[in-house]
């Protein structure tokens, strides 16, 4: 089977759209359609049902998809293993990371990496940590630099690079700002601004409040911590932010028995060969542990 056709097939299946697949692969839509038609002709079966602008995998397409992923992953692993034999650190390195880590943690690492390994082409994709972990699991990314998941994923390996303590924060106009002592019951009377349900950071917060058997009132939801900080600073609610983001326009609230922390670090697929480029990136990130 043609590798390019398999790649097009997987991309169409993942995006649910020929046009989105063409954008992602930097090809024209007719070129994508031609590759899918070639694969369907070779296999003598339809892989997609097309109803108007909607497409969906046929039964044959559903059966082929995991096998197609494995084929491309084996080819990619073989390519990396052979390139690694040369000892050179070059080629394309696809990394997924969150906006927060990209803004607050990665700049010195990337500057150092680019200085020492100029032949590596970095493809840095900004996304939620949960999406990055899924992309690493699928093989779309070699490495994720993310908020680490609380639950073990047997496919992924993970290492903590930056412990990230969290604090409850309020703005200077919040009704609780002049309270000498604030407890959990007083806090949950007011609305919170939190990351979306299902995110790793939200899971850390929910675990903490569940221990105290308290229900949090959600006023606003956004996954961008910089946006949450702005909303807290103008008095729209309380939230939970990394201590590294504390500043004069927000106040950390001290609660007895409160300790919240998320862990930031690297994830990679345990069953796949990492390129020299990825291994060197991980080595530089591990140096951050000793600096911290």
In three-state secondary structure terms, 252 is strand
Separation CA 109–CA 161 (nearest Å): 12
In three-state secondary structure terms, 66 is helix
Separation CA 264–CA 105 (nearest Å): 9
Rounded to 5°, angle at Cα 148 from 223 and 157: 145
50 beta partners: 55
Tens digit of pLDDT at every position of the chain (292 positions): 788 999 999 999 999 999 999 998 989 999 999 999 999 999 999 999 988 778 999 999 999 999 998 898 888 888 888 877 877 888 889 999 999 999 999 999 999 999 999 999 999 999 999 999 999 998 889 999 999 999 989 999 999 999 999 999 999 999 999 888 888 888 999 999 999 999 999 999 999 888 888 889 999 999 999 999 999 999 999 999 999 999 999 999 988 778 899 999 999 999 888 999 999 999 999 998 866 5
Domains plus CATH for the chain?
3-74 (1.10.10.10), 83-161+264-291 (3.40.190.10), 165-263 (3.40.190.290)
Predicted TM-score (pTM) of this structure: 0.77
Separation CA 149–CA 151 (nearest Å): 5
Separation CA 69–CA 178 (nearest Å): 57
Separation CA 182–CA 218 (nearest Å): 19
pLDDT confidence of residue 145: 97
pLDDT confidence of residue 292: 57
Long-range contact set of residues 221-224: C-beta below 8 Å, sequence gap at least 24 = 221/193, 221/194, 221/195, 221/196, 221/197, 222/193, 222/195, 222/196, 223/128, 223/195, 223/196, 223/199, 224/99, 224/100
């Amino acid at each position: 089977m043609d590798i390019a056709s398999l790649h097009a097939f997987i991309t169409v299946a993942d995006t649910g759209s020929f046009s989105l697949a063409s954008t992602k692969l930097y090809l024209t839509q007719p070129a994508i359609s031609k590759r899918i038609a070639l694969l369907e002709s070779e296999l003598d079966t339809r892989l997609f049902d097309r109803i108007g602008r909607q497409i969906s995998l046929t039964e044959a397409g559903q059966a082929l998809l995991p096998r197609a992923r494995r084929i491309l992953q084996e080819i990619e692993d073989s390519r990396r293993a052979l390139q690694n034999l040369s000892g050179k650190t070059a080629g394309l390195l696809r990394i997924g990371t969150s906006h927060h880590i990209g803004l607050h943690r990665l700049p010195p690492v990337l500057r150092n990496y680019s200085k020492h390994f100029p032949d590596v082409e970095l493809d840095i994709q900004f996304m939620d940590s949960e999406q990055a972990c899924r992309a690493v699991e699928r093989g779309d990314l070699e490495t994720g630099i993310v908020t680490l998941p609380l639950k073990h994923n047997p496919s992924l390996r993970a290492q903590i690079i930056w412990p990230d303590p969290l604090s409850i924060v309020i703005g200077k106009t919040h009704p609780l700002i002049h309270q000498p002592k604030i407890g959990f019951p007083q806090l949950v009377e007011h609305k919170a601004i939190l990351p979306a349900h299902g995110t790793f950071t939200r899971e850390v917060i929910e675990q903490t409040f569940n221990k105290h058997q308290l229900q949090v009132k959600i006023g606003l939801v956004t996954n961008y911590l910089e946006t949450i900080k702005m909303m807290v600073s103008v008095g729209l609610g309380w939230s939970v932010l990394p201590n590294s983001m504390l500043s004069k326009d927000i106040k950390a609230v001290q609660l007895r028995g409160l300790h919240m922390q998320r862990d930031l670090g690297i994830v990679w697929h345990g069953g796949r060969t990492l390129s020299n480029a990825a291994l060197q990136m991980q080595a530089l990130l591990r140096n951050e542990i000793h600096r911290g």
